[in-house]
Amino acid sequence: MSELWLIKAQQYLLQNKGTVSLKKLERFTGYSERHIERTFENHIGISPKRYNTIIRLHHFLSLMKNTTENTTMTSLSYEAGYTDQSHLIKDFKNIIGLTPGQYLTTKNKLAVNFIELH
């Protein structure tokens, strides 16, 4: 069975910077939620939701890196597709292990900013 649709789904998630719901992914691929989840787990090693979250956090990190001093964390979280800052902080801490504030004060960001995409 060809998993070409999986590559297209990954590209779709990347193009949309991790803001795609599972329902939208179902419509995009034509597959059921369960089939998408199984295929992601088998081929990528993580769920589509976690994959999507990692992409969104990468986008947030790039926004954070290229921001001015006057930009607030709240505005960056909205720009990255989060509905509120608390959701961003929860995802950030869950995936990266630090809060965004702690991340900003970390000197060796390379070691901390290692989010593995399979």
CATH number at residue 97: 1.10.10.60
Rounded to an integer, what distance in angstroms lies between the CA atom of residue 19 and that of residue 51?
11
Residue 22 covered by a domain = yes
pTM: 0.83
| Domain shared by 41 and 55, yes or no | no
Q: What is the pLDDT of residues 2-24, one digit of tens each?
A: 689 999 999 999 999 999 999 99
Instruction: Please count the structural domains in the chain.
Output: 2
Residue 118 covered by a domain = no
More confident residue, 106 or 45: 45
Residue 117 covered by a domain = no
> Which range, of 35-39, 88-92, 96-100, averages the lowest pLDDT?
96-100
| Domain shared by 19 and 65, yes or no | no
User: For residue 82, what pLDDT band results from cuts at 50, 70 and 90?
Assistant: very high
Q: Which domain holds residue 41?
A: 4-48
